[in-house]
Amino acid sequence: EVQLVESGGGLVQTGGSLRLSCTATGLDFDDSAIGWYRQAPGKAREAISCISSSAGLTWDADSVKGRFSISVDNASNTVYLQMESVKPEDTAVYHCAAEIGNRGLRYGVPSCWRGYWGQGTQVTVSS
């Protein structure tokens, strides 16, 4: 059974930093991609970042490029989202997501959106 458990959310001031963690069990990191999406109240779900560690590839949304970075620690089955220079519009529930098969690649790009997801962790950015 695949399980994704997020942690690290909280309240942070504009311009500050936060690191989210996702511990994944029940899947093979060599044949999957793991990433993050977020959903703010009244807004559509937004894919943020995705990594295929076996392929050495990442994908990031334009809205977070240069501010957020995704990384993986295979030894602990954990994926991190380092958030820098946060803005009030980054306020949302952040969910970990995973897609299994073909090293988590679709058309050569990491894809995390058609498989599993966690319960989420709240990130609130104060202005």
36-93: per-residue pLDDT in tens? Answer: 999 999 999 999 999 999 999 999 999 999 999 999 999 999 999 999 999 999 999 9
CA distance 94 to 101: 23
CA 72 to chain centroid, in Å, comes to 10
Residue at token pair 């991609």: 33
Q: Could you read off the pLDDT of 87-114 as tens digits, one per residue?
A: 999 999 999 999 999 999 999 999 999 9
Count the alpha carbons within 13 Å of 81 in the hemisphere toward its beta carbon.
34
Q: For the chain, how far is it from start to end, CA to CA, in angstroms? A: 40
Judge contact between 60 and 79, C-beta under 8 A.
no
- The DSSP-derived string for 42-83 is TS--EEEEEEETTTTEEEE-TTTTTTEEEEEEGGGTEEEEEE
In this prediction, residue 119 has a pLDDT band, given cuts at 50, 70 and 90, of very high
- Residue 76 to residues 22, 72, 124, Cα–Cα distance (Å): 10, 9, 27
